[in-house]
Each structure stands twice: as structure tokens, then as C-alpha cells.
Homo-oligomer: A and B are copies of this chain.
Amino acid sequence: MNNMKKTNIDEKAITIRFAGDSGDGIQLMGAQFAKSTALKGNDFATFSDFPAEIRAPAGSEFGVSSYQINLGSAKIMTSGDSPSVLVAFNPAALKVNLPLLNSGAIIIINTGAFTKRNLAKAKFDKDPRLTSALSSFQLVELDIDKLTSESVLRFGLSKSKASRCKNFLALGLILWVFGHDIEKTISWINKLFIDKDTIESNKTALKAGYFFGETNEVSTTLPKYFFPPSDFSSGEYRNVKGSDALAYGLAAAAELADLPMMFCSYPITPASSLLHKLSEMEELGIGVFQAEDEIASICAAIGASYGGAIGVTSSSGPGISLKTESINLAINTELPLVIINSQRGGPSTGLPTKTEQSDLLQAVYGRSADAPIPVLSVSTASDGFDIAIEAVRIAIHHMTPVILLTDGFINNSSHPWLLPDIKKYKKIAINQPKRDIKNIFLRDKSTLARPWIIPGTKGGIHRIGGIEKDFETGNISYDPDNHQKMTNLRINKIKNISNFIPNQEVSFGPARGKLAVVGWGSSFGAINQSLRSISNKNVSQIHINYISPFPKNLKKLLEGFEKVLVPEMNMGQLSALLKDKLNLNPISFCKVTGQPFLVSELIKEINYCLDE
């Protein structure tokens, strides 16, 4: 260990990463540290990176699970480019994460795990401590294994059980490093486990870690970080994970429409977290149906919508693809439905636990025939709340299925969330006539939507189906002119939604200028952070949540910039849409590595565009 800064208090933010085996409880530890950070009043953003294997063999590189958090007193927009602190529970965790670190980063390693066997499993030829591999970093060696087992000795746990407390020991130490109070974490442990021994041993390990920091020589080798509270606007806050915010938003929409919601899904990574969360939300009038596959799940949601509930279905690439045919049924029968796509790396099984935003063109164009559908997108973890409400609102108001795009990164990232007040939201008006039904297919003049007449309604008997229907009567029609009329109707109905959505806003920078950085989805934070860093008055961020149809002013807005740069975690899909729909000619900046954008790479690209 060499020349060590004692504290980083002069910096406004720091990125720290925890990494270990899939079975080490890294995600749990990280999530609790984030909570604790929130309660400390600091802003933060987190990102989880874990393997597709459930619990890959201990010590292997592909089994490494990581949790990254960027926190501080500044406004935090991303989970951080490159960590300044790494806690590595074993050699594989060190190996995998080394390339990501800031030069000069502090690496806390668990020396207990640096056995020959583990080094071999991580494919280190030599113990990296004995080589120059770590020379540009600050190494802190701690036998976390030993400290843990010693701390919980008195519980007489088996070796493996004792070892499972080590994430709590490490968490304790980190809490000390950041000057957090451990009481909140202790009461969390009390609630987290049922078994008394587990509770006590984990609490003991946590305290051991904390006091170890406080009392031992560590204080001389580890810096302490004290961030003054961030500058939050006033209100109530909680830490929220992307998939949770989406779930809350769906429930909020059901409340605003005053309808029950049926969430019908089939598990798939990274969409399952939404299924899990909603499974716990019965009190909000939400029912969950886990179907036998994705087709059955969207069909059950369509059935529920037909029955007057809000049908919602959710999946990822492979599963969304399977829903294609059924989406067209919902389009043709004009039933409200929300289809949530948690995008992941592809094609095919691809990289199930890695993030990507490459299902945009599928969402917009990926169905047989002319089958338009509104497409919305979530930009940040907490954003999902509002977007989910918007998706349900459009589905019901315009009687159409809606695709809502999010991704693995958003679902698994979190940040503090200024809690909304549902009472301030506009109610979602439903048109479910119950009496005096004169014309069953009489469309609303402003939305072109048909009424939502549900089975059980007296005087409303009618039939719907996937065959082309007559514009007036809704009966089967093979008439050529009627088909043109209905095709136009379907297109105009969706285009017309642009009259009901907000104008596109500029997220950062002026409304005209040299360069517009146009993004969508989870790149919001990284783009925003990079523009803040550059702080060039000619560069603006325009981030699109309403993708189909685009906001009415988007074309004009973008034409106010000399250049349009579109960074995407795909090979240029929003760019394709901007060309097709708005006749623009944007510059594409693509990254398809399964990893989110780094602020640094965006800054580089933006500067390049400015210099060019």
C-alpha cells in the first residue's frame, strides 16, 4: 500500500464498486448501501452487473456479480464511468473489474480468498499482488473471510454459513468509510431475515466491519469520505429501482383509471423483476397471471382488457418476439393493452443479463402489415413511474396497444426519487358505456377511438375479431375500399396521438444551437452528465420519451441545430427513425457491448462532432 490520500472530501462524487461471486450477496449489500446513502442525504445512481448463471461455480470469472454506485453531494446522473474504489471479494472479481478502474483507485481485496486455487480459477498466472498489475492502484489488503468467521464465532455456524456473513462485514466497513449511521441497516437486517441466528450473525458481522474501521489501523490506510448532503429540491424521497418505479407507475395508472389491472407475464431476464414486484401489489387492485408462455400471457392480457380490466404484459427480446402476432390482434380489435419490453443484449438468447436498446425498430416496425402502435420509452429508473401512467393513459384513451420500452440497465439501477402525489395527476378517462348504446362502433371524434364495450353490458352485444372489419358496423368486411379506410384509420389514430402528448422539451442547454445530442432510453444520465461536464453553450440534450408518434415539434426543434448526434446502444435505430419519419440526417454513435455508455466516451464523441 502506497501513498494514500486520507480523504476525498474535496471531490463532489465518487464511484465505488462491489464485486464477488454470484453467491456472495453483492447485490444485497450494494442495494443496502444505496439506501443508506439516500438516508444520508446524498444523491446517487446505481448499476448491477451479474452473470446469466444463477450461481456459477465459485471463483470463476463468469460468475462475478458486481454492484456499482456513484454518489456524492453533486447532482448524480449516472452510476459512474470508472470506479475509484473497488471491493473485490476474490481474485476473479479483481480480474474482471481491473480494466474498469480509475487509475489511482483504491482496491480493497479479501486476502482470504486469494488462494492458489482461486487465483487459478481466475486465470491469474501469478498472484497479482506480486506483479506490477496493481502498481497504479492503492491496494488495501483485508482478510474479510477471517474477520467474518472470527466475528460470528460465537454462533457456532458451519463454515459455509459463517462465510455468508461476509457481505455484511464488508458493508459495515464501507458504511464506516462513508460515515453512515448503522442503525438503519441493523433494523433492515431485522426485517430481512426470519431465522434468528441469521439475523444475529449478520448484525454481528455488520458491526464488526463498522467497528473494525473505527478502531483498527484501517483508519490509517483507508480514506474516509464525507459528502455534505446533495442539493435536492424539497419533498419526500425514497430510493427506487427502475423496475419498481415501473410497477408503481402501472398501479398509479390503474388508480387514475379506477380499473383493476391484470399483469400477465412469463418469466424472463431482465423483465422478471417487474413480475416479482407486481406479484406483491394485490392491495392496489393488481392481479398477476403467470402464463405458460409469452403468447398465452399477452393473450390473457388481451382477454382481460376485453373484459374491461387494464391488460399489461411484459417480456424481453425473445419473448416480445413471440408476442408479435398477438399484438396485431390487439391492434385490429382496438383493445387497450400495454406491452413492456425490458430490452437486453441480443439477437436470440444473446446476453440475457446485459443491457442494450436495440428493440426500437422492432417496436415501431416489427409486425406484419401496416400495424402502427404507440411506442414510449423510459429514460431513468424513476422515470418509469410517469411513463407507465402515460402508456396506460394512451392505451385507454386511444383504444390501442402501447409498447413501453425499458432495459436491463434501468430495471436494475436505482436512485433517489422525489415522491409524486397521485392526487395531482389527471385522471384517466375511460369510455366504457353501460347503457343507451346506439352505435357500438361509433368513434370518438377527437381520438378516433371506438368505445370500450365490455361483455356483460346490456344492449352492447357485438363481435370483434382479427379479420378486417367494416368501418361502420364492425362486421367482417372484405371490401377493398373499406380496407383502405380502415388502414388509414389505424394509421391516423396513432398519428393523432401527437396531439395529446407534450411537446418535446430540451433536457439541457438551449433550444437552438450547434449540436443536439438526441437520445432515448437509459442513456439519459450519461448524456446529461457529459453535457454538464462539457458545458458548452452550443450543445443541447434532447431526450425522447415519446417515440411513436414523435412529439409534433420534434422536427422543428431538431432543425434548429446544425448537427444532430444520436448516441445509441444499438447500431443506429433511432437514427433510422429520424431519417424515415422526419427526413433528418443525424450522426450515429453506436455502442453494442452490453454495457451502458460512459460519460467519457460521450464527451469524446461530442467534442469530435463540435470540432469537425
Contact = CB atoms under 8 A, between A and B. Distances in A.
Interface stretch (A27-35, A172-180, A240-248, A350-358): A350-358
B368 A320 contact: yes
Interface in A76-113: none
A51 to B, nearest CB: 7
A347 B318 contact: no
Interface in A555-581: 570-571, 573, 576, 579-580
A610 interface: no
Contact of A324 (B333, B349, B366): B366
A162 to B, nearest CB: 31
A571 B489 CA distance: 12
A484 B591 contact: yes
A343 B349 CA distance: 28
A370 B571 contact: yes
A360 to B, nearest CB: 9
A345 B571 contact: no
A487 B368 contact: no
Given A328-B348, A571-B487, A580 B576 contact: yes
Contacts of A153: none
What is the count of identical protomers in the complex?
A: 2
A329 B347 CA distance: 8
Contacts of A576: 365, 580
A467 interface: yes
B369 A366 contact: no
Given A365-B361, A579-B580, A467 B349 contact: yes
A325 B322 contact: yes
A156 interface: no
A280 B293 CA distance: 36
Contacts of A345: 369, 468, 483
Interface in A273-323: 316-322
A483 B351 contact: yes
Interface stretch (A163-171, A202-210, A592-600): A592-600
A52 B554 CA distance: 43
Interface string A469-511: 0000000001011011001001100000000000000000000
A228 interface: no
A44 interface: no
Residue of A347, A481, A490 ringed by the most chain B CB atoms within 10 A: A347
A465 interface: yes
A317 B52 contact: no
Contacts of A571: 370, 487, 491
A528 interface: no
A329 B348 CA distance: 5
13 contacts: A317-B368, A318-B368, A321-B324, A322-B324, A322-B325, A325-B348, A351-B467, A358-B370, A478-B594, A483-B593, A579-B579, A580-B580, A583-B585
Interface of A: 51-52, 62, 316-322, 324-325, 328-329, 331-333, 343, 345-354, 356, 358-359, 361-362, 364-371, 465-468, 478, 480-481, 483-484, 487, 490-491, 570-571, 573, 576, 579-580, 583, 585, 591-595
Given A348-B466, A350-B467, A364-B365, 4 more contacts: A329-B349, A347-B368, A365-B365, A579-B579
**What 7 A-B pairs come out closest when comparing CB atoms?**
A346-B369, A366-B366, A317-B368, A348-B466, A480-B593, A349-B466, A347-B371
